[in-house]
Structure 1
Amino acid sequence: MVNIVDGGAKHAPQEMEQFLPGDGKKMYKIQPRKSDAEQALANSDFDPFALRENEHPTTDNETLTHLLKASLGTGILGMPFAFMCSGIVMGIFATIFTAFICTHCSYILVKCGHKLYYRTRRTKMTFAEIAEAAFQKGPKWCRGFAPVAKFSILFGLFLTYFGTCSVYTVIVASNFEQLIAHWTGTAISLRMLICAMLIPMILIAWVPNLKYLAPVSMVANVFMGLGLGITFYYLVQDLPPLPERNYVVWGTLPQFFSITIFAMEAIGVVMPLENNMKTPQSFLGICGVLSQGMSGVTLIYMLLGFLGYLHYGAVTQESITLNLPIEEWPAQAVKLLISLAVYCTFGLQFFVCLEIIWDGIKDKCKKRPTLVNYVLRTVMVTAAVVLAVAVPKIGPFMGLIGAFCFSILGLIFPVVIELIVHWETGFGKYNWILWKNILITACGIGALVFGSLAAIKDIVKAYQDPAPE
């Protein structure tokens, strides 16, 4: 038992039990920090999942639909090119490995969030709030970094997903430009088509929440599925024998990982999806929503990459749609369907940006929150479209931002959070948590370096060509 002044009690790393002796002087008894099991027992009266309040919660199937749409983006069209960089056999195993790493990082982020719900007695947290709470509840040496961690994640997520929204506008407009030019023989300014996308983008951004956005994601999945189905139809025609393709390619293997990681990564939508679930416990587990969704995504990625490279070999383009015969109507249908799928996905990507800004200002807008929220949505969409008009070749720049941000946000930050959360309780038998996180960090650094180099090359290549009008 020790006598401690009031101001010093809050700085002690141990748990403290306060009581008053007969003289009225405050006394504290120092107790060891509780383990996760002891903390859960102490909080047995607190159930963050039962106490969570969501006006429009999403079901497991709706969450799975959103997850599939977030992971099955336009990046999947680059998988045949990625297989060309790895070889047809190495590509299969490397895709499984990459998917496992990305899924595991999402898993540990949500798992750490669930542990921190009990430690902080909160019912939901964003990615940035999980990082902040982990640092605040972690060892004494890291507590001062909590605000920096939160700001870094918020800034990185907003930069990446706002830029993605702008790029999506360019993708949709570019595909319609090609379709119009093919069917009418008249060239239309790309910037004019981007401007024409403003109203449709605002309308989809006005969908109020993820509950009502679920049918839109379902439609997007249908469009993407049809587009991929037609693409598969082309790929299975007249397949050459396997020995004509490289089985293993070592020289360009880092490029494979950079393409695949950024195609699969969906770390920014994981916590928004979990926060809006009716049964968030179902998100994790061997047969949970996350495992189901990423298993299906991995299978589709492998199949498209395998067939695409097997069919086209050394002439495989960076997007498999560029290999399709443009004069045939099924190939044109692929462009239309993928454009519509990207348009429907805009709302889900935009929701990440909106949540970041809205959480920062909603406490100051209590008089007319709904009006302010919709004005904010309109302004943000307009800004994204204006950026697309100003820089139609923004895609390569977003490749650089994505390489930088997703490597740090999607791979490095989750393992750092897990290490801090387990700092007091240990890293498991033989310190396996520590060693596997060192391996993941090395993968993240490799993706950061090689992905950034590839994006810089794309920027140089893009600006050597004439600028679009």
Structure 2
Amino acid sequence: MARTSEVDQDEEQARSTLLESNSSNNGATSMQTLMNIIVSIVGTGVLGLPYAFRTAGWLAGSLGVITAALLSYYCMLLLVQCKRRAIVVLEGGGEENRIETYGDLGARAFGAKGRFLTELMIVISQLGGTIVFLLFIGENLSSVFSGRHRISPSVFILILLPLQIALSFITSLKVLAPFSALADACNVLAMAFVIKEDVKQLQSFGGSRIAFNGVWSLPFACGVAVYCFDGFALTLSLEKSMARPKKFPWVLLQAFIGVCIVYTCFGVLGYLAFGDNTMDIITLNLPNSLSSIIVKLGVSMALALTFPMSMHPIKEIMEAKLKSRKSITLRAARVIMVVAVAVLATAAPDFSVLISFIGSTLCALLSFILPALYHLKLVNNLSVWERVLDYIIFVIGIVFAACGTCAAITGHFKN
């Protein structure tokens, strides 16, 4: 039997912590899996949706979120179908070589090169997500403490650097898991507070609101939407964690319906409330009241403490490659990695620009292109319509990635 590599074992251990916390010995229930799916999808990107709706228009933004949800849901099902079909029974024994990670799927489809490409995209995407974390923290702290003279978000990112370096030496995911739960709770609190302020602003609704802002605004808004639905690295682990995996498609559908409704309402309300004044991070539109300051500080500090969790899959792969977990070289590599991410965050573009770029490139590859390609490669006896749909999704992913990258580079997304 082909053995799972050390890298995959480490990655799976890192990604399965959330699943283990809500699973019994017999597997997770449907409700537990539903909560895990929501946690794996919803993140800080949602706070950039109102600005995406401002850029594309409230109607175009809504259609973009719905389209991203439909395609993401279908492509996650493609991964599950690939996993179930791509089981190799070895000659002379009943042992099975099962697909457990996205990297395993890449290896089964295209060998070592397929695994390398899949894992590389996951690592780069995760790296982009950590930079988004730091940008969000810097922007929010800058809005709280700047006063008359604006302090650059980069200053706050560098101020928090010693804390991030210290936290990088925590290797126990059990220690880090509560901070992740705290960050999720703070995100929900921030969304609830923003919606309350949106409703207050709507009472004095003024000015026009655009429904459709031109073709070139769509790649930007869709990139943000795709980023907000990114959870493909955990799809196979979530399905595997269930006591009754056959129910996974229905549970996944429930999660996507709920999240899609929340995303659409959140984006529309934010744009309708603030119009052309909508900021790339909606919390920056909050008034300078004590409650809003507490929300901003709470979300920022929770994310600062969660930063090591988001870096953990990258650290696991790096440590597996170095094969010297207790050496000075490994400790130095951790510090260098955190410093490098912080430096990249200080040089990164605006929050909304970055999440749109990541969504249009890396997330498009992981969410649409690779699932369709692996489905065509691994699943036999596909009907004509299934093959046609796979090719359509593959082409959509390529065109979307090209248009999103072009829009980000040329700056056509700016109003």
User: Shared topology, TM-score over 0.5?
Assistant: yes
| 1:189–1:155 distance in 2 versus 1, CA, 3 Å | closer
SS at match of 1:284: helix
Structure 2: runs of 5 or more not aligned: 1-11, 91-95
1:131 has 2:106 as partner = yes
| Partner of residue 412, structure 1 | 369
Residue 405 of structure 1 and its aligned partner are, at CA, apart by 1.8
Residue 112 of structure 1 and its aligned partner are, at CA, apart by 1.4
Residue 414 of structure 1 and its aligned partner are, at CA, apart by 0.8
| 1:157–1:111 distance in 2 versus 1, CA, 3 Å | same
| Partner of residue 221, structure 1 | 184
Q: Which whole-Å CA distance do the structure 1 matches of 2:404 and 2:189 have between them?
A: 30
1:160 has 2:130 as partner = no
Q: Which whole-Å CA distance do the structure 1 matches of 2:340 and 2:125 have between them?
A: 17
Residue 293 of structure 1 and its aligned partner are, at CA, apart by 3.3
Aligned positions of 1:261-280 closer than 5 A: 261-271=226-236, 273=238, 277=241, 279=243
| Partner of residue 110, structure 1 | 80
Q: Which whole-Å CA distance do the structure 1 matches of 2:243 and 2:115 have between them?
A: 26
Contact 1:198 1:382 (8 Å CA) reproduced: no
Q: Which whole-Å CA distance do the structure 2 matches of 1:381 and 1:105 have between them?
A: 36
Aligned positions of 1:257-406 closer than 5 A: 257-271=222-236, 273=238, 277=241, 279=243, 281=245, 284-287=248-251, 290-325=252-287, 327-360=288-321, 364=323, 371=326, 376=330, 379-380=333-334, 382-389=336-343, 392-395=346-349, 400=357, 403-406=360-363
Letter in 1 for 2:134: T
Aligned positions of 1:160-179 closer than 5 A: 160-179=125-144
Contact 1:129 1:150 (8 Å CA) reproduced: yes
TM-score (norm. length: structure 1): 0.69
| Partner of residue 122, structure 1 | 97
Percent of matched pairs sharing the same residue = 23
Contact 2:126 2:310 (8 Å CA) reproduced: yes
Q: Which whole-Å CA distance do the structure 2 matches of 1:201 and 1:168 have between them?
A: 15
TM-score (norm. length: structure 2): 0.77
Larger Rg: 1
Q: Which whole-Å CA distance do the structure 2 matches of 1:92 and 1:459 have between them?
A: 20
1:235 has 2:188 as partner = no
Contact 1:86 1:253 (8 Å CA) reproduced: yes
1:456 has 2:413 as partner = no
Q: Which whole-Å CA distance do the structure 1 matches of 2:210 and 2:311 have between them?
A: 40
| 1:355–1:278 distance in 2 versus 1, CA, 3 Å | farther
Per-residue Cα deviation, 1:366-394 (whole angstroms, up to 9, x for no partner): xxx6x46x984773354123442366122
The number of equivalent residue pairs is: 383
Greater relative contact order structure (CA < 8 Å, 6+ sep): 2
| 1:199–1:228 distance in 2 versus 1, CA, 3 Å | same
Q: Which whole-Å CA distance do the structure 1 matches of 2:71 and 2:344 have between them?
A: 36
Q: Which whole-Å CA distance do the structure 2 matches of 1:238 and 1:389 have between them?
A: 37
Letter in 1 for 2:158: I
Structure 1: runs of 5 or more not aligned: 1-51, 136-145, 462-469
1:68 has 2:38 as partner = yes
Q: Which whole-Å CA distance do the structure 1 matches of 2:255 and 2:329 have between them?
A: 34
Q: Which whole-Å CA distance do the structure 2 matches of 1:316 and 1:458 have between them?
A: 18
* Backbone CA RMSD of aligned residues: 3.8
Residue 263 of structure 1 and its aligned partner are, at CA, apart by 2.5
SS at match of 1:246: coil
SS at match of 2:346: coil
Q: Which whole-Å CA distance do the structure 2 matches of 1:77 and 1:415 have between them?
A: 29
Q: Which whole-Å CA distance do the structure 2 matches of 1:242 and 1:174 have between them?
A: 27
Residue 117 of structure 1 and its aligned partner are, at CA, apart by 4.1
Q: Which whole-Å CA distance do the structure 2 matches of 1:94 and 1:53 have between them?
A: 34
Contact 1:213 1:348 (8 Å CA) reproduced: yes
| 1:312–1:186 distance in 2 versus 1, CA, 3 Å | closer
| Partner of residue 167, structure 2 | 203
| Partner of residue 426, structure 1 | 381
SS at match of 2:39: helix
Residue 292 of structure 1 and its aligned partner are, at CA, apart by 3.8
Stretch of structure 1 that moved more, 352-361 or 185-194? 185-194
SS at match of 1:317: coil
Letter in 2 for 1:132: A
| 1:216–1:205 distance in 2 versus 1, CA, 3 Å | farther
